[in-house]
Structure 1
Amino acid sequence: MFRPVIMAGGSGTRLWPLSRQLYPKQFCALVGERTMLQETVLRLEGLDCLPPLVVCNEEHRFLAAEQLRLVGQEESTILLEPFGRNTAPAVALAALQATEAGQDPLLLVLAADHLIENVESFHQSVGKAARLAEEGMLVTFGTVPDRPATRYGYIRRGEPLKEGFAVDRFEEKPDMETAKAHLASGGYYWNSGMFLFRASIYLDELGRHAPKILAACRKAFEAREADMHFLRIGKDAFRACPKDSIDYAVMEKTTKAAVVALDAGWSDVGSWSALWKVRHKDGNGNVLKGDVVAVSTRNTLVDAGKRLVATLGVKDLVIVETADAVLIAHRDHVEDVRLVVDELDRQARCEHVNHRRVYRPWGDYDSIDTGPHHQVKRITVKPGARLSVQMHHHRAEHWVVVRGAARVRKGDKVMMLNEDQSTYIPVGEIHALENPGRIPLELIEVQSGSYLGEDDIIRFEDQYGRK
């Protein structure tokens, strides 16, 4: 029986403006209607699996929990890293959790942001890897290359084993001539970053080759705290953990490394160009999503999120439109989108951090209009959900209900507001908002004051454990 470990960290900056710091690509629907995390979980159906262990950043915990709930995975355990330390520590924490009750399962380590088109072939490769892992091997999945590629690391296979090959060596991302030679030789795979091994054997090998990582992870795991259905790792102990990948920390040093071929339409969907390659194209080679009118347009990706996007007489472009940002780039330059993100960060802007629509555990809000001393939001509260009991030092709020019913607390008073009714929350007044109904509550909030930042919230009670 497998215990899936799904690594859901990372920022996905090369897929800006769709992917943001607080809404990275693993939580986006890049191919199809479901998000990358949801597709990763659903891909496990048909395998003999325990509920997944999901490792993610603390800032993304409610996103991960909600997306898992929507695909019936409420029993998943979500481990919260206070900050990223790469894959070797992340999997060590998962292995410690998996072995806590005296069990020692096979860990199927997957990235939450990969695409696999042929699930049946993926399952067959997992079966082969499991038989090697049962014999004590640390197995990595080597993607069968279909072209020379310079953006992936490579694995050179060694002596044949029953179900795969011993790993001869790992190689860094090559230049084009080397990539062509690797493809021609037939003895190389792309390094997919997915693994299968016995939890205890991984911990033993990590302790042998990277003892500082294992020691820090043990201390951080011992200091863990349960928070609702999350498991918070000890922050102070984890801060001392070195950063390293599984490849560098273990796989390149162990004598137990094996590789199983994976020929299943794999992609890490690491850029807009990679996404153009895997999405369905029209007769002109265009990938069009949303409200798009394409005239005399070829080999172009257009992702229209909110508005009509029209193209005329262009080719080989990537055009991505969201509510607050538009990216226009040549397909040959999309690997450098992170430079745009770096510039936004340098200018202390927020468009690389979050979308205009921001998700919260109770629902979401859309910032419709913002000025120096005012902000207008459309707030949606899920049925049965409630916001924290809170107070603001610098802003007042005016709420107008446009759909559903709201239970509002103002100081010591509680009132019900129905559609077309409103209330005013003065600066400094303790207040709360709840949706007692069965349909989403929608209201317009008009904020006014000298400071409108989200950090001007003093919480007195919060069912989601926020401070």
Structure 2
Amino acid sequence: MFNVTPVILCGGSGTRLWPLSRAGFPKQFLVLSGVNSLFQQAVQRIQTAAAPDIQIGQTLVVTNEEHRFLALDQLRELKDVMATLLLEPSARNTAPALTLAALQARAEGDDPILVVTPSDQTVTDGAAYSAALQAAIRAAVNGSIVILGVTPDRPETGYGYIRASGASGDGEGVRKVQAFVEKPDLATAQNYLAEGGYFWNAGMFVLRASTWLHALERFRSDIAQATRAAWQGKTTDAQFIRPDKAGFAAIPSESIDYAVMEKCPGSDISTYMTPLAAGWNDLGAWESVWQVGAQDAQGNVLQGDVLAADTHNTLVHASGRLVGVVGVDNLVIVETADAVLVAERSQSQNVKKIVHALEQRKREEQTLHRKVHRPWGWYDSVDQGERFKVKRIMVKPGASLSLQKHHHRAEHWIVVTGTAEVTCGDRKILLSENQSTHIPLGEVHRLANPGKVPLEIIEVQSGSYLGEDDIVRFEDTYGRC
């Protein structure tokens, strides 16, 4: 029996999918098609590799500390998936992330086969993916590193390549890796496609936990030792495991490829590749979203409330409002509550320039949506002017906000649906639909939902400063004090 531990690498900000993807809600948590997010799809895909000789164990999710509740909430929507979240206090690239997962996988003395995958990819042929993954798992049992190499269907210049030989005999369809090749120019990519034996490097790896730790120690002992030091100082909180913050910040930042994989060919660490022809795409830009989307007869991918006339080969994504397009070709148009993007499809990689400009100007549209998800629910900033802000707030059943106060604003709450338990100073009251209350400036207060249905209120803030950082927390269920 092959015991498998899925490892989902859930970092990154997805700047090229702005304005849907933002630092506070990156692309892996987006639902770009169907009903599940890219992150949820990644978790579910590995489960399909289960077979009479393959047992899928608990999932390890490596994600940013700031995204822990997004990941946890989306995991809770999946049935029969148990997961532990390893929280990175800062971004150190994928090699330290995988090392955290390997150390956790070996914590009880076991040595499972790790199936390592990014959380922001799509696959259209699930059966082909499962078959390739099963072959990779069986080939990794004896200590080899096995990579899923995507069979190319075009001369792509945006991916690194793997050069692989014919079948190795170590498993069905498994090939010996000869070299890793950096992103080529167009002419070189065309030659790769014509020559054959070259595959896209999709960043999906299958290997035993001990194999990774051994390889990292050999090729980058500095990363291995620094990550172990941070791991030794870890703390555990329910499903969250946090490495030592200062120790983690001291780890050299490096990718799995540069730290280990590119050094393996020619060494005594066996490296193989399983070809994957499953409609794979990494959704690195809006062009990729158009490629994998359901195109109509005119080549358009239309999502949301969209009306199109005399329009061809265009992606339109409407989040809330009606979007009408007339007489355009090869565009990307993305509408959200607080931003609209219009770009030529061929320029969609350059959306990151807009994100950089937003960052330079310290604008919130780079970080947060108008509707912001929190562990207790969400809030939507529907209007704002001089000295006032209006929010819709939803609190999940049984959830509560922190016990807090504000130095610069007062708040008025009106219950729309559900029941609110309001703490205001030394008073605690219950409010039902159409009832309201006032929270004076500087008063310690808390909002909670004691009921079994979502609580929704309208909050009107008034004061001299209305920033989200005007908050002092005294008690918090989610460890944010």
Q: TM-score if structure 2 supplies the norm length?
A: 0.96
In structure 1, distance between residues paired with 2:44 and 2:240? 21
After TM superposition, give the deviation of residue 73 of structure 1 in Å. 5.5
After TM superposition, give the deviation of residue 75 of structure 1 in Å. 2.5
71-80 vs 113-122, which deviates more? 71-80
Q: Which residue number in structure 1 is paired with residue 175 of structure 2?
A: 165
After TM superposition, give the deviation of residue 228 of structure 1 in Å. 3.0
Q: Which residue number in structure 1 is paired with residue 29 of structure 2?
A: 27
What per-residue deviation string (whole Å, max 9, x for no partner) do you get for residues 380-437 of structure 1? 0011111111111111101010111101011111101111111110111111111111
Matched-pair contact (CA < 8 Å) for 1:285–1:298? yes
Q: Which residue number in structure 2 is paired with residue 55 of structure 1?
A: 62
Q: How does 1:178-257 map to 2 (within 5 A)?
A: 178-254=188-264, 255=267, 256-257=270-271
What per-residue deviation string (whole Å, max 9, x for no partner) do you get for residues 219-251 of structure 1? 111111112321111111111101111111111
Q: Which amino acid aligns with 2:111?
A: D
Aligned partner (choices 308, 315, 335) of residue 349 of structure 2: 335
After TM superposition, give the deviation of residue 41 of structure 1 in Å. 1.3
Whether 1:105 and 2:112 are equivalent positions in the alignment is yes
After TM superposition, give the deviation of residue 176 of structure 1 in Å. 0.5
Tell me the SS of whatever aligns to 1:166: strand
After TM superposition, give the deviation of residue 455 of structure 1 in Å. 1.3
Tell me the SS of whatever aligns to 1:212: helix
Matched-pair contact (CA < 8 Å) for 1:144–1:263? yes
Q: Which amino acid aligns with 2:382?
A: I
Q: Which residue number in structure 1 is paired with residue 158 of structure 2?
A: 151
Q: Which residue number in structure 1 is paired with residue 143 of structure 2?
A: 136
Q: Which amino acid aligns with 2:308?
A: A
In structure 2, distance between residues paired with 1:67 and 1:270? 21
After TM superposition, give the deviation of residue 201 of structure 1 in Å. 1.0
In structure 2, distance between residues paired with 1:374 and 1:63? 29
Aligned partner (choices 80, 89, 92) of residue 87 of structure 2: 80
In structure 1, distance between residues paired with 2:257 and 2:33? 28
Aligned partner (choices 313, 316, 336) of residue 327 of structure 2: 313
Aligned partner (choices 299, 302, 308) of residue 285 of structure 1: 299
% identical aligned pairs: 52
42-51 vs 402-411, which deviates more? 42-51
255-264 vs 159-168, which deviates more? 159-168
Matched-pair contact (CA < 8 Å) for 2:148–2:204? yes
Matched-pair contact (CA < 8 Å) for 1:227–1:465? no
Q: Which residue number in structure 2 is paired with residue 44 of structure 1?
A: 46
Q: Which residue number in structure 2 is paired with residue 461 of structure 1?
A: 475
Q: Which amino acid aligns with 2:260?
A: V
Would you identify which runs of 4 or more consecutive aligned residues in structure 1 move more than 6 Å? none
Q: Which residue number in structure 2 is paired with residue 373 of structure 1?
A: 387
Q: Which residue number in structure 2 is paired with residue 70 of structure 1?
A: 77
363-372 vs 93-102, which deviates more? 363-372
RMSD (CA atoms): 1.0
Q: Which residue number in structure 2 is paired with residue 117 of structure 1?
A: 124
In structure 2, distance between residues paired with 1:234 and 1:134? 32
Whether 1:349 and 2:375 are equivalent positions in the alignment is no
What per-residue deviation string (whole Å, max 9, x for no partner) do you get for residues 293-321 of structure 1? 00111110000001000001111100000
What per-residue deviation string (whole Å, max 9, x for no partner) do you get for residues 151-171 of structure 1? 000000136412212211111
Q: Which residue number in structure 2 is paired with residue 301 of structure 1?
A: 315
Q: Which amino acid aligns with 1:91?
A: L
Matched-pair contact (CA < 8 Å) for 1:141–1:262? yes
Q: Which amino acid aligns with 1:65?
A: L
In structure 2, distance between residues paired with 1:124 and 1:293? 40
Matched-pair contact (CA < 8 Å) for 2:400–2:447? yes
Matched-pair contact (CA < 8 Å) for 1:115–1:268? yes
In structure 1, distance between residues paired with 2:178 and 2:308? 49
Q: Which residue number in structure 2 is paired with residue 325 of structure 1?
A: 339
Matched-pair contact (CA < 8 Å) for 1:51–1:73? no
Whether 1:413 and 2:423 are equivalent positions in the alignment is no
In structure 2, distance between residues paired with 1:257 and 1:354? 41
After TM superposition, give the deviation of residue 277 of structure 1 in Å. 0.6
After TM superposition, give the deviation of residue 461 of structure 1 in Å. 0.8
Q: Which residue number in structure 2 is paired with residue 92 of structure 1?
A: 99
After TM superposition, give the deviation of residue 453 of structure 1 in Å. 1.3
Q: Which amino acid aligns with 1:113?
A: D
333-342 vs 446-455, which deviates more? 446-455
Matched-pair contact (CA < 8 Å) for 2:59–2:81? no
Q: Which residue number in structure 1 is paired with residue 14 of structure 2?
A: 12
In structure 2, distance between residues paired with 1:73 and 1:443? 33
In structure 2, distance between residues paired with 1:398 and 1:24? 32
Tell me the SS of whatever aligns to 1:94: helix
In structure 1, distance between residues paired with 2:383 and 2:27? 26
Tell me the SS of whatever aligns to 1:116: coil
Whether 1:448 and 2:458 are equivalent positions in the alignment is no
In structure 1, distance between residues paired with 2:334 and 2:307? 14
Q: Which amino acid aligns with 2:389?
A: Q
Matched-pair contact (CA < 8 Å) for 2:410–2:463? yes
After TM superposition, give the deviation of residue 36 of structure 1 in Å. 0.4
Tell me the SS of whatever aligns to 2:457: strand
Structure 2, unaligned runs of 5 or more? none
Tell me the SS of whatever aligns to 2:32: coil
Aligned length: 467
After TM superposition, give the deviation of residue 122 of structure 1 in Å. 1.0
Structure 1, unaligned runs of 5 or more? none
99-108 vs 26-35, which deviates more? 26-35
Matched-pair contact (CA < 8 Å) for 1:65–1:74? no
Q: TM-score if structure 1 supplies the norm length?
A: 0.99
In structure 2, distance between residues paired with 1:132 and 1:44? 16
Q: Which amino acid aligns with 1:214?
A: A
Per the alignment, do residues 362 and 73 of structure 1 end up closer, same or farther by CA in structure 2, a change over 3 Å counting?
farther
In structure 1, distance between residues paired with 2:417 and 2:110? 50
